[in-house]
Amino acid sequence: MSPNSEFREWIMGFKVAALQFAVITFGLLFGAAGAANARAIQLVGLGDSLMAGYQLPPGDGFPAKLEAALKAKGLDAAVADAGVSGDTTSGGLSRIDWSVPDGTDGVILELGANDALRGIPPEQTEKNLETMIERLKGRKIPIFFVGMLAPPNMGSDYAEKFNPIYKRLADKYQLALYPFFLDGVATHADLQLSDGMHPNPKGVDVVVERILPAVISFVGMIDAGAK
């Protein structure tokens, strides 16, 4: 083989290698850009001890188990725990602006149980919840609204005023509503802590299992709106 032929083959080999390098580099850059654009949906669970996982080990609370259940269904979503034990709707309202940071894609709003336990006038509870809803809507943050029922010891008159609050607000503001957070857990001692109010780890599993389909629909709505 002549020196010229060897030189031409070397040049051709160099061009092929350069082209392959360019293709690989473009693919890496494109993949990196796609990864940067693919961001997990950021949810915030704004609530009381039911959200905060009262007396439960880390990872056994509702936000952590809901996030795991969503990921198990193939949904890339993170659920931040903004639950404060003992919080009333007044407490939630006072901290909503900093508890729900910028960049939040959706809020799971679960408050009102402590209002009922303390006998706070339902009209005040409704006003506080409505103000929170309007604050979040003003920031264009979708809301998954979680309802509560008044405990039986508060009497039927109180329950008749308190229990309809959540559906009334959900209808007014067209919110996704899960009517009762403790559905399937309330009155089941084996799913509750010794206080007879808060779910134990098995109780949280039941809550997550029952609420999951509605949350999946909510996440799908957020994802569709982002496209």
**What amino acid positions are annotated as catalytic residues?**
49, 195, 198
- How far is the CA of 187 from the CAs of 73, 117, 199, in angstroms? 29, 16, 11
Question: Nearest-CA neighbor of 198 among 89, 57, 53?
Answer: 53
Question: Nearest-CA neighbor of 173 among 136, 204, 202?
Answer: 136
* N-term to C-term CA, the chain: 59
What is the distance between the alpha carbons of residues 115 and 163, in angstroms, rounded to a whole number?
12
What is the distance between the alpha carbons of residues 146 and 132, in angstroms, rounded to a whole number?
13
Instruction: State both tokens at 149.
Output: 């029922």
